[in-house]
Amino acid sequence: MKIKVSIQIIFKIMIIVLMIIYLPSYSHQNVKVFKAISTTEALQTSVPVTSSKKIHLYNTHQGEEYVGYNVKEGASYLKDCLTKEGYFCDVEQNDFENYKNIHRIAYNQSYVVSKMYLENSLRENGQYDLVIDFHRDSLDKKYSTLVYNQKSYAKILFVVGKSSGKFDMVNQLSTELSNRANEKVPGLSKGIMVKKNHYNQGICDHTILIEFGGQNNTKEEVQNTIEVMSQVIKEYLQ
């Protein structure tokens, strides 16, 4: 009798062990999902998407700061403004500065890092209708600030890479957005600056680099400009 009981116990233990071994590995699946979501700050589900157009925002130089504000916060605010207009808009959340520190990548190689993450976002989310690299300029406040109708704005500048392979397309798009901004607030955009670099502008169509103000601009000034640019982008994408 004792032998039969022992055999039954051993048999049950063997079944339990086999069940544990062949259970699906949910932890591995969860890791994949977490990585996909953590790459960009996803659109809040409480805000309805009324447009089929998609926008991606990132900051190659995430460490650029204003007075009590920074470019990452600026990109996030632009995302919020565009989301309210009904667009699917995400903003890159990975820490570029930390990645450069860990892998000992120099500051002048920042676009190597942002290119890698931009390509990852394109793989995960498909093509975007507009991609914006949100920057800040380095210059005296008197050159980076505009007062119009008793309201203070951070001036913007579009930078176009000569060596991207898509110079004409990027230059045309940047010029159009610059002109539209100046129609709303005369003098808000300082126009186009062409440089030799590529600035990731050959990775996909409809990608631009905008410098919002300078290091001495305030949060309010930067956000005033962002609100104007969200309307410019809305009108362009319609």
Per the CB < 8 A criterion, the answer to whether 145 and 152 are in contact is yes
CA distance 122 to 94: 15
Evaluate if residue 192 carries a pLDDT over 60: yes
Tokens 């009981």 correspond to what residue?
5
pLDDT at 47: 62
Q: Are strands 156-161 and 145-148 parallel, antiparallel or unpaired?
A: unpaired
Per the CB < 8 A criterion, the answer to whether 199 and 133 are in contact is yes
Residue pLDDT, tens place only, 54-85: 999 999 999 999 999 999 999 999 999 999 99
pLDDT at 49: 72
Per the CB < 8 A criterion, the answer to whether 164 and 201 are in contact is yes
Q: How confident is the model at residue 139 (pLDDT cuts 50, 70, 90)?
A: very high
pLDDT at 51: 75
HEC per residue, 56-76: EEECCCCCCECECCEHHHHHH
pLDDT at 218: 98
pLDDT at 44: 43
Mean pLDDT of the chain: 86
